[in-house]
Amino acid sequence: MTWGQQNTEVDAHEQMDYAVSQGVNFFDTAELYAIPINPETQGLTEKYIGNWLAANGNRNKLVIATKAAGPGPQHIRKGPNFSKEHLKQAIEESLERLQTDYIDLYQLHWPERKTNMFGDLGYRYGDEPAVTNFQEVLAFLKTYIDQGIIKHIGISNETPWGMMQYLKTAEMYDLPKIVSIQNPYSLVNRTFEVGLSEMSIREKVGLLAYSPLGGGLLSGKYLNNQKPEGARYTDWPNYFARYKHPNTAKAVEAYYQLAQDHGADPAYHQDVLNTAEKVAEYLKAAGADAVEVCETKGYPVVYGEKMIDPSKPTVLVYGHYDVQPPDPLDLWESAPFEPVIKETEIHPEGAIFARGSADDKGQFFMHVKAFEAMNKNGELPCNVKFMIEGEEEVKKMGEMGFLGMMVEPEFGGGGMDTLSYVLAMEEISKVDASCSVIMSVNNSLVCYGMRNFANDEQRKKYLPKLASGEMLGAFALSEPEAGSDATMQRTTAKDMEKGHKGINCLIVEKDMPGFTQGPKEDKLGIRSSDTCSLMFTDVKVPKENRIGEDGFGFKFAMKTLAGGRIGIAAQALGIAAGAYELALKYAQERKAFGKPIAEHQAIAFKLADMHLEIEAARQLVYKAAWLKDQKKDYSLASAMAKLKASEVAMNVTTEAVQVHGGYGFVKEYHVERMMRDAKITQIYEGTSEVQRIVISRAILD
Ligand SMILES: Cc1cc2nc3c(=O)[nH]c(=O)nc-3n(C[C@H](O)[C@H](O)[C@H](O)COP(=O)(O)OP(=O)(O)OC[C@H]3O[C@@H](n4cnc5c(N)ncnc54)[C@H](O)[C@@H]3O)c2cc1C
């Protein structure tokens, strides 16, 4: 990273925050930076990183690399070299600027000797002796390694000869071995491939490729003599002379064309940027002005400073894509403010505009990551349906009848039986457990509880809205100190006439004064379904909102949960079945040792066990649903179904990750999300331990 010349400390910190939020854990710098070389900005990059590390307290979670400058820049130690004195000073100053006690990777920025580096071709024989005493340099760096101040060492801008000297010397004198070489490598600079690639691989000295886009050339942004504002070759046209050869421009043009012919771009980032420009056009068309695409955050962000209608609160434009959406929370997390969406409106081009209060700066915010993901699928933004935090999906579920499946048709429901509901839950959970938990709570806790225990007025008032998805139901039983032991609740309702008796279930609407919702919990799984604390401060609930007789609340909860368990059991079954389907497909496609991994017995047996366990769980879940439909006692059956299915979900998803190998650990392949989602099925609506209590009591009674 080089900050301090083309960008500020604020930019640097924003970029590091963003990088870390995207899973980056490695920052590389140098005492020399910022680039282009300038005595006034020397050391600033390290300083910015140091301030950021100190502010975030996350040093131990990151790999930090830096470098000692080689001969040349006179403003550093009047011309640096790799003598003990120079290296000592370089290391100590870097540690101070970086505000750290140790450096994970310490590199020698370029050779001390005169050789062809930085893109020079043609070696001039016999120019001068090789000045470096490799043994002395390695022995000196070893003293820092022994103290734990340097963890690993590497070289940079080196030639095969230099690399060989470091390796040979380390071997001969039992000194530390270099672990990396940081040289340029891109489609317009493949010099590394000759000589160094083989050494790097055979000697296990990893390449840290710098300038992978040829300093931005390959993005195509300089094509046709374009001079983008603030770009490196615009401001410093003679920088990196190695890329100035007329053939380089021709090569860039050819690469660019090749990529365009295939609907791609040599610099993926450029693709994203193009999309961002399109988004900016939408915004302009929608009446905003001063729209700007900022490139400083790794991913482009579109900002606009004026509102469509200044009399309204800040407008937030939030793009999202419908095909396998990422966890919306991940997108929100990088938003610069927390918007409160109040009203949505569909833009003719497909984007959804949400009106709400954001901050007082009147900013537009558009996270282009969503567009980037769309482009990956070769789709244009306007062809993709946008949504805001999954609201659209839930609305769709309501329209399709999934939110009130067992509610009688007279109340706008589907009038179906439990088994049908279980089948739908299973299918939806195969793909998205966050959607299915919303469906489950609304159907089997809220609608079921109302149908069976509410009075006619309450049913008429709420069931049609709940069944259509116009209202979403929540079931608030647990409290911070009352989970499995649900009788320990502290929330109290006072009957203003008679005082209070026992536990009661009350219908509370979101807009009743005194009701507030806490912030979203940051969860392991089912991240698209919000989980928040609910606060009730002197909320006045009309008496007609109590369900059942005075004191009926606990019975209501237990009876409802017995049925709810079947829904969660079906959710667990679906998660397991979804992960199994992905694993089965992958095992037939992925080859290792010359055949599909499914043909290796260890994997085939895993698949067999997964299939068997899922089928066993399925029988229990369907049986519990059937018993309920037959109006027979299903409390034991539903506890067994939930216990078995949730444990199968956890085991099968873990095995599905294993079948996928390393890819299973990567978000793109979904099974890791399923594994995270599976865990909650062992916890909510009665933990596995509680189910065992229910089962053991039933069999011992
Ligand atoms: C994502 C999410 C969504 C949720 N949604 C809702 C919701 O919509 N409505 C709602 O009311 N609640 C909800 N909950 C709360 C959930 O139902 C409780 O977390 C759950 O019932 C467990 O209670 P607890 O967390 O207090 O754990 P505890 O009851 O404190 O249990 C801790 C551990 O002790 C074990 N344990 C407790 N008692 C016993 C015992 N007698 N014998 C043996 N082991 C025991 C438990 O099994 C568990 O392993 C949700 C929780 C999560 C995480």
Ligand 1 atom with least separation from CA of 693? 42
Mean pLDDT across the stretch 70-78? Answer: 95
Residue 124 has pLDDT above 80, yes or no: no
Last residue of a domain, one of 212, 234, 258: 212
How many Å separate Cα 518 from the centre of its chain? 23
Cis peptide before 569 (omega within 30 of 0): no
Domain span holding position 92: 9-212
In a domain, 220, yes or no: no
How many Å separate Cα 251 from the centre of its chain? 35
Asked if residue 521 has its Cβ within 6 Å of ligand 1, the reply is: no
Asked if residue 531 has its Cβ within 6 Å of ligand 1, the reply is: yes
Report the number of distinct structural domains present in the chain.
4
* Pair 583, 625 in one domain: yes
* Pair 594, 573 in one domain: yes
Residue 389 has pLDDT above 60, yes or no: no
Ligand 1 atom with least separation from CA of 480? 26
- The kind and range of the H/E element at 657 are helix 635-659
Mean pLDDT across the stretch 68-79? Answer: 95
Q: Which residue has the tokens 């920088």?
A: 239
Asked if residue 483 has its Cβ within 6 Å of ligand 1, the reply is: yes
In a domain, 675, yes or no: yes
Residue 217's pLDDT band, with cuts at 50, 70 and 90, is confident
Q: Round to whole Å and give the CA distance between 566 and 624.
A: 7
Q: If you measure from the C-alpha of residue 478 to the centroid of ligand 1, how many angstroms do you get, rounded to a whole number?
A: 8
Model confidence pLDDT, tens digit, residues 218-241? 888 888 888 888 888 888 887 777
Residue 128's pLDDT band, with cuts at 50, 70 and 90, is confident
Q: Please tell me which residue, 626 or 498, carries the higher pLDDT value.
A: 626
In a domain, 262, yes or no: no
Q: Please tell me which residue, 31 or 267, carries the higher pLDDT value.
A: 31
* Pair 618, 646 in one domain: yes
Report pLDDT for 258. 80
In a domain, 246, yes or no: no
In a domain, 45, yes or no: yes
In single-letter form, the type of residue at position 110 comes to: W
* Pair 322, 363 in one domain: yes
Token code pair at residue 361: 């700066």
CA-proximal residue: ligand 1, atom 14 (nearest): 684
Residue 437 has pLDDT above 80, yes or no: yes
Contact 391, 344 (CB under 8 A): yes
Closest by alpha carbon to 220, among 231, 209, 230? 231
Model confidence pLDDT, tens digit, residues 517-564? 887 788 999 988 889 899 999 999 999 999 999 999 999 999 999 888
In angstroms, how far apart are the furthest CA atoms of the chain? 104
- CA torsion sign, 197 to 153 to 185 to 39? negative
Q: Which residue has the tokens 């997390």?
A: 333
Report pLDDT for 97. 98
Asked if residue 476 has its Cβ within 6 Å of ligand 1, the reply is: yes
Contact 464, 456 (CB under 8 A): no
CA-proximal residue: ligand 1, atom 37 (nearest): 484
Ligand 1 atom with least separation from CA of 690? 47
What CATH number has the domain bearing residue 475?
Answer: 1.10.540.10
* Pair 537, 560 in one domain: no
* Pair 443, 363 in one domain: no
Mean pLDDT across the stretch 672-691? Answer: 96
In a domain, 514, yes or no: yes
Last residue of a domain, one of 493, 517, 547: 547
Report pLDDT for 450. 95
Mean pLDDT across the stretch 330-351? Answer: 33
Token code pair at residue 330: 């991940």
Cis peptide before 34 (omega within 30 of 0): yes
For 352, the 3-state DSSP assignment is strand
* Pair 325, 443 in one domain: no
* Pair 534, 567 in one domain: no
- The kind and range of the H/E element at 344 are strand 340-346
What CATH number has the domain bearing residue 116?
Answer: 3.20.20.100
* Pair 559, 542 in one domain: no
Q: Round to whole Å and give the CA distance between 251 and 256.
A: 8
Q: Please tell me which residue, 494 or 349, carries the higher pLDDT value.
A: 494
Residue 284's pLDDT band, with cuts at 50, 70 and 90, is low
Q: Please tell me which residue, 69 or 392, carries the higher pLDDT value.
A: 69
Asked if residue 484 has its Cβ within 6 Å of ligand 1, the reply is: yes
Model confidence pLDDT, tens digit, residues 239-279? 777 788 888 888 988 888 887 776 566 555 455 555 556 55
In a domain, 417, yes or no: yes
Residue 290 has pLDDT above 70, yes or no: no
Last residue of a domain, one of 347, 365, 389: 389
* Pair 543, 626 in one domain: no
CA-proximal residue: ligand 1, atom 23 (nearest): 483
* Pair 34, 153 in one domain: yes
* Pair 496, 557 in one domain: no
What is the percent of the chain where pLDDT is above 90? 59
Model confidence pLDDT, tens digit, residues 99-116? 999 999 999 999 999 888
Mean pLDDT across the stretch 414-420? Answer: 91
With both helix axes pointing from N to C terminus, report the angle between 84-98 and 44-56 in degrees, rounded to the nearest 10.
40
Q: Please tell me which residue, 283 or 340, carries the higher pLDDT value.
A: 283
Q: Please tell me which residue, 198 or 323, carries the higher pLDDT value.
A: 198
Tell me what ipTM this predicted complex has.
0.96
